[in-house]
Each structure stands twice: as structure tokens, then as C-alpha cells.
Amino acid sequence: MFKLADRVSRIDASGIRRIFDLARSMKDPINLSIGQPDFAVPDPVKDAAVAAIRDNRNSYTPTQGIAELNEQLRAEEERFTGRSYAADELLITSGVSGGLFLALLALIDEGCEVVIPDPYFVMYKHLVALFGGVPVYLDTYDDGFGIDPHKLEALLTDKTRLVLLNSPCNPTGRILDKATLEGIAAVCRKRGVPVLSDEIYRSFAYEPMTPMAAVYEHTVTLGGHSKAFGMTGWRLGFASGPRELIQAMAKVQQYSFVCAPSIAQYAALACPQVDMSAHIDAYRAKRDLMAGILSQRFELGAPDGAFYLYVKAPDGFTGDTFVEHAIKNNILIIPGSVFSERDSHFRICYTVADDILRTGAERLCDLADLAD
């Protein structure tokens, strides 16, 4: 017989994956659950991947990533944040999830606390727990899913090792404004606490966005190509930030992922050639379509960016029970309890055709009306 490690019992199977499994058993559902773009990888990026394969660039790369992509990403980060980065202050990772894994493993000891704004991306609390850390939740519901720096400061203790931010946020779509980020920076600077800023959705910012690294020097930024270029399965991301932490993450990567996929790295060199603005504009229009319909019947979080709406369940329902009600009527949405310690909301992803979005939104409104 074998015995599983205790750490495995600290995490649960993804609630999102359970919904995806359910979708496979349903006949032609209105699927508003899948959090990935519906557009194809651009042809120049595909062509670059094919060329890399044919040119036999199929072997391991340096753990830090290929020099050409490292240089390209550092230039992009300098333009976006106003900060310059040396080559050893940026690490190419196996997706943003891989970067999150490396950062937490490099920072978290047993019993360390990580402050996580609630709602949060589903992976955050589970990885913190897996590595022996303690998630400490900053409830943002009463602040419109923004962050009150005073409430944040009240949660910081001598055990706090990290504050974990996500802007634009999955699931709420909220973008933290510059004044809020400066307030967070002041609190964390006083306490000597670093910030991990997950900015994978920064390309889908429909309102002005300030990166955390622009206001706080002790920020490790996670970003990547998967959302902006439809490359979710290619597993390519990056981490930039203080040299000591980036090099610790690189050391961990040597003994885990080894390197990000070589083909994806070479393909990403073609990404700056591609104008994705039409896709971004289309998603902004999808947001407006869905928010316009749903706001007539539901309370919505501020959909500043990403491609999600975080919707309060109608009176008489929890988030979970309304999702069950929707699934019985062939509509797939994600319960907010997957992303939160509360059970009051549900998440919609609007990366599908407009006619499906319109039908789905109208049916959800009908379901809410019938429940009254």
C-alpha cells in the first residue's frame, strides 16, 4: 500500500473542472463558463512555431529563457511600467500558472501567511496551502471589489510573507486604479512585504490600467501570451521583478519545469508583429452587450477588464443554487464559491459568439424573473 503526502489533502479538485466535465455530458448547452479566448492563434505566430520546429529548435532552452525573448519582454515591461529590468530580473515561465508556482515555492515557508483579496482566482489559495502557507482573505465585496489599504494593513502580521493581487481580476473584471495601488504600496513598503501582481489579463483592460510595478519596487509581475494571443495551451508566461526573487524562481525552475516550451518561446518572437486591437475591441463590445442586458435584472461587479462578469445571484438563491438552476435549464456558468469564501455570486465568461451571449443573458434574466 502507499500513502499520499499530507499536502495533497490540503487542496480540492477544481470546481471549474467539474463544470467542464458536466458540459461534456450536456447537449448543446449555452456555455458561458470557459475562461479562454475564442479567437485562433494569429497566423504569424503559428508560422513562427512551425519554422522553429523545422529549424530543429526543439531542445531544452536555458532555464531563464531564450535571450531574444528575454530582451523583447524586458523592453515591453519597460514601456509598460516605466522601470528597467536587467536580463536576470526576468524569467520566462511555463505559463502564468508556472510562474505562480515558482514564486510561491520560492517565498512561502510552513505557516507563512499570504494575503489574498476575495474574490480570487481559484488556484491562489490552493497553491498557498499546498506549499504549507496560510491564505488570509481580504474581503472586497463591500468595496466594489476594490481594495481598501487600511483593511489590508489590518491583516498584515509578522507572519505575512506576500500580498497576492490580480488586476484585471478573474473573476470580477475589476482593475485596481493607481491611487489604490499607491495605497497598497505604502502599506507593504512600511511592512517590508512584497507584492505578487498577476497581470495576465492586462491586454484586456477596457479602462486605464497602472501596473503594480510602476508604483512599488518590491513587485514581482506575472504576465504571458496565453490570453492576449489565444495561446492558452502553449504554456508561456514570464515573471519580472527583484533579482533575488527572480533568481530563486529560476533555481526552482531548474528542478521542476526545466524551461518553458522551446517552440512557444520562439513563436512568441512574432507576437509584436500582430495587431490584436480588433479582438480587444470585440471583447469590449461583448462586455457591453452582456452588462447591458444583465444589469436590468442582476447586480454586477465593475467589468473594467478581462472577459468575465461577476454577478450577484437573485434573491432567494445562493450562487451555488442559482448555478444549479441555470444548469437544469441548459446554461453553464461558474458558481462564485469557486472563487470566494462567500456563496453569493456566479461568474460568466463572454468569450463566445454574440448571438449565444444575447440568448444566454436573456435566459438568465428569465430564470431570475421566474424565481420571484
Is the pLDDT assigned to residue 26 strictly greater than 80?
A: no
Q: Name residue 246's amino acid.
A: I
Across all residues in the chain, what is the average pLDDT?
A: 94
Rounded mean pLDDT, 313-334: 94
pLDDT at 372: 59
pLDDT tens, 45-69?
Answer: 999 999 999 999 999 999 999 999 9
The maximal CA–CA distance of the chain, rounded, in angstroms, is 63
Is the pLDDT assigned to residue 16 strictly greater than 80?
A: no
Q: Which residues, other chains included, contact 295 with Cβ-Cβ below 8 Å and sequence gap of 6+?
A: none
pLDDT at 286: 98
Is the pLDDT assigned to residue 21 strictly greater than 70?
A: no
Separation between Cα atoms, residue 67 and residue 269, nearest integer Å: 11
Concatenated DSSP letters for 289-308?
HHHHHHTTTS-B----BTTE
**CA angle, 362 then 279 then 202, to 5°:** 95
Rounded mean pLDDT, 146-161: 98
**What Å distances lie between residue 223 and 14, 143, 152, 168, 328, CA to CA?**
22, 26, 24, 12, 37
Which residue has cell 447537449? Answer: 27
Is the pLDDT assigned to residue 19 strictly greater than 90?
A: no
Give the CB-side neighbour count of residue 232, counting CA atoms within 13 A: 10
Q: Which three cell numbers stand for residue 103?
A: 514564486
Rounded mean pLDDT, 133-148: 97
User: Which ranges in the chain are annotated with CATH 3.40.640.10?
Assistant: 43-273
Q: Which three cell numbers stand for residue 231?
A: 495561446
Separation between Cα atoms, residue 259 and residue 69, nearest integer Å: 13
Q: Which three cell numbers stand for residue 279?
A: 479582438
Sheet holding 113-118, edge to edge: 90-93, 237-240, 219-224, 195-198, 160-166, 113-118, 134-139
Q: Name residue 158's amino acid.
A: D
pLDDT tens, 74-133?
Answer: 999 999 999 999 999 999 999 999 999 999 999 999 999 999 999 999 999 999 999 999
pLDDT tens, 195-240?
Answer: 999 999 999 999 899 999 999 999 999 999 999 999 999 999 999 9
Angle between helices 123-130 and 95-107 (to 10 degrees): 40
User: Which ranges in the chain are annotated with CATH 3.90.1150.10?
Assistant: 6-41+276-371
pLDDT band at residue 28 under the 50/70/90 scheme: confident
pLDDT at 352: 95
pLDDT tens, 203-214?
Answer: 999 989 999 999
Backbone φ and ψ for 197, nearest 5 degrees, come out as -110, 110
Quick check: 238 and 80 in contact, CB under 8 A? no
pLDDT at 11: 78
Q: Is the dihedral of CA 139, 145, 150, 156 positive or negative?
A: positive
Let me know how many helices (H) and strands (E) the chain has, helices first: 12, 12
The secondary structure element, H or E, covering residue 114 is strand 113-118
The reply to whether the predicted model has a pTM over 0.75 is: yes
pLDDT at 340: 97
Annotation: CATH topology of 6-41+276-371: Aspartate Aminotransferase, domain 1 (3.90.1150)
Task: Work out the percent of the chain whose per-residue pLDDT is above 70.
Answer: 96
| Lowest-confidence region among 233-242, 246-255, 337-346, 363-372 | 363-372
| Pairing mode, strands 195-198 and 160-166 | parallel
Residue 320's Cβ-count burial label (10 Å; 0-12, 13-18, 19+) is middle
Concatenated DSSP letters for 166-177?
ESS-TTT-----
The count of other CB atoms within 10 Å of the CB of residue 135 is 18
Is the pLDDT assigned to residue 370 strictly greater than 90?
A: no
pLDDT tens, 158-201?
Answer: 999 999 999 999 999 999 999 999 999 999 999 999 999 999 99
Rounded mean pLDDT, 234-260: 97
User: Is 43-273 a CATH 3.40.50.300 domain?
Assistant: no
The b-or-e profile of 144-177 (16+ CB within 10 A means b, else e) is ebbbbbeebeebbeeebbbbbbbbbbbbbbbbbb
Is the pLDDT assigned to residue 4 strictly greater than 90?
A: no
